[in-house]
Amino acid sequence: MTPVFRLRIRCCRKPVQAVLVAAIACLCSLLGQLTQPEGGLSVLWPANALLAALLVRHPSLSHPQSWAGALGGMLLANIVFEDMTWPAALGYGITDLSGVLIAWAILTSSWSPDQLRNPRAIGRVLAACTAAAATNAAVALALTPWLRPDEPWMTIALNWFFGQLLSYCAFLPPIMLLPRRFRPRGDRRHAWSSLLRRMRNGTLLLPLAALIASVSLCFLLGGPGAAAFPIPALMYCALAYRQGTTAWITLLTALIVMLGAANGWVPLGQNHPLAGTHAWDMVSLRLGVLLLIMSPLLVSGILAARSDLISSLSLALDHDSLTRALSRQAFLRSADEHLGRTPAPPQGNALLMLDIDHFKQLNDRHGHAAGDQVLKAFAQTIRTLVRPHDLFGRLGGEEFALFLPDTSERDAGDIAERLRFCVEKLSVPLDACLALRISVSIGTVHDARAPFASLSELLAYADQAMYQAKRSGRNQVHAHGGLAAHTEDTEDPAWPPPLNNAPKAP
């Protein structure tokens, strides 16, 4: 691709993005107009929240041309489909974009789906929604003589603030909780089996059944408390499902309740006895639906934060803090679970013992800080070469173990040789002029040679094979072929320092 062609593509990108944003703004405005009663404001107006979420998730779209495109899309929807005059359409467009700008400015600093996994982050989103709704109401009041001269200012303020607050709180969290990329994670067979198991024991369908029943009560019984009927079922969903799933279920429930009440499908009783106006009825309804939205979102955020804390504690307990390899206890537990599986894997299991050569002399000569650097570099090299489901653990000091499930004896030997070769080529820099070269001795054992051996016996066999590799000259791979007597390893006093004197950087 020539530089001129690249420049043309780069120059055309922003106008294309502006057209795309304009189309999205126009479509979202049309969706809001579907809920607009005759001569009044829309019950739900998703355009502002959807635009804010789009600009937050895709910062590359937040340039002046995209903002102009969003305003143009709203103007098009208001003029063509609402038969407004262009000054009124411009006033509504400016009012809507003012709230979008505030929400975007608060949330765009740094975001990720994980940001909503604690109550404090959810509070930040609520603050952004409140600020955006207040900005919408303030701008609408400023433009009241222009937009709706015959309507009381209090009614305009209440409708704009609570209507926009409900829309932002309903639409922003589900969209912001979407993952950046949709990737299948983990084993699909395991995922499907887990899904079927949850369907059989009722943990997947019971929350949905309870929610459907509670929403049905809203339409059948009605009354002033109808908006609160689905809250217990939504709490149940927050306990049973992931946070993103709960947010989308809550959004769908809020839409059904809100549209049903606005169209008379959910009878809510007489007007508010104190105010006696329809505006206060709508404020009460929107507040009820807002509580319906925020309650399960806060609960799911608390549960997500607790799950993250448990995961971090489990990670700290199950992994070595220096090398990030499995701890001795975690490795032994996981490897023993693999050995106990029935039926056994067709190719059997292999176990490798890895010991860094001359590590004690390295520590004595260069210090423990250099030894830590070597251990981290060695562990990182091994992790990049093994499969995701292989078990790599640190048993102590410079001694590591690798469990290879469903691996033939020949493949285990090839893997061990590849690991030895890559470690031999590894260079661990200490400073600008000094780097260490290391090697590893590896002993392997396959459970085909000892079908009834326990994990401790396989570890002993692999340990014997590893010491045999050391006795044979180190930097070797040795496979267990018999029950040779175990002899203690003695470090070679004539070991030369593994230095690589690199030239100093200029």
Worst-scoring range by mean pLDDT, 2-6, 78-82, 88-92, 498-502? Answer: 498-502
Quick check: helix, strand or coil at residue 97? helix
Rounded to whole angstroms, the Cα distance separating 31 from 442 reads 65
Confidence class for position 184, pLDDT limits 50, 70, 90:
very low
More confident residue, 261 or 340: 340
Q: pLDDT band at 479, cuts 50/70/90?
A: very high
* Nearest residue to 247 via CA among 172, 189, 328: 172
Whether 250 shows a pLDDT value over 80: the answer reads yes
Residue 465 and residue 444 in contact, taking contact as beta carbons nearer than 8 Å: yes
pLDDT, residue 38, reads 53
Is the pLDDT reported for residue 197 higher than 70? no
Higher pLDDT, 317 or 237: 237
The β-bridge relationship of strands 440-446 and 477-479 is parallel
For helices 278-318 and 243-262, what crossing angle results, to 10°? 170
The pLDDT mean for the chain works out to 80
Q: Grade residue 253 by pLDDT with cuts at 50, 70 and 90.
A: very high
Summarize pLDDT for 391-410 with one digit per residue, the tens: 999 999 999 999 999 999 99
Which string of b and e fits 92-113 if b means at least 16 CB within 10 Å?
Answer: bbbbbbbbbbbbbbbbeeebee
Q: Does the pLDDT of residue 206 top 80, yes or no?
A: yes
Range scoring the smallest mean pLDDT among 11-20, 63-72, 129-138, 447-456? 11-20
pLDDT at residue 195 above 90? no
